[in-house]
Amino acid sequence: MNLKLFFSILLFTGFYTNIYSQDDIQIGSLGTRSGQQGGLFDYSNPSSINIKVQLWGYVRYPGYYIVPAGTGLNELISFAGGPMEDASLDQIRVTKIKEGTPTKMLKYNYNDMVWEDEIKTQINFVKLEAGDIVVVPGEPRYFVREDIAFYLGIVTALASITALIISILYANN
């Protein structure tokens, strides 16, 4: 499926069903910090205001996150276990949806912060707000080892069948 079509469908179906509802902000935590519950991850601070944000795409643990207000994009990606090797870190998108205001999409280049030795341009640190949706795009990369494993499996199966046929033929003689 085309990646743009996928994100368009995701944007249309999921993002507009819960536009900055009261459930996106909470005080305290859910009280369960014992690991993950499906796609809901609770990193809330029991003594402060917490927000709900979404993180999708090429990260280790995509899903809904409950984090303290003022959490940055870098922290959220860290909470998610970091980006996967197939992630396009130069095109991270943050969609900000609020009632009564136009939807804004910010692009963020994570590579500038991670790989550059000196600051050449101003790095925009994105602070997350309640209801924000973060998408880390990417595409699967081709690895030769996948092809080698596939063909090696076929060759091994053919060698086993050949050995079986030879042993059956010589067993009858």
- The DSSP code for 30 is -
Has this prediction a pTM greater than 0.75? no
Q: Both 67 and 96 in a single domain?
A: yes
H helices within the chain, ranges in order?
3-10, 73-79, 110-115, 144-172
H helices within 40-143, ranges in order?
73-79, 110-115
Q: What is the CATH number of the domain that holds 38?
A: 3.10.560.10
Residue 112 belongs to what domain range? 3-141
Q: How far apart are the C-alpha atoms of 162 and 20, rounded to whole Å?
A: 64
Q: How many structural domains are present in the chain?
A: 2
Q: What's the pLDDT tens digit per position in 24-77?
A: 665 655 544 444 456 889 998 889 899 999 999 999 999 999 999 989 888 899
Closest CA to 106 of 97, 96, 116: 96
Q: Both 31 and 113 in a single domain?
A: yes
Q: Both 132 and 160 in a single domain?
A: no
Q: How far apart are the C-alpha atoms of 43 and 52, rounded to whole Å?
A: 10
Q: What's the pLDDT tens digit per position in 68-98?
A: 998 988 889 999 999 988 888 888 999 988 8
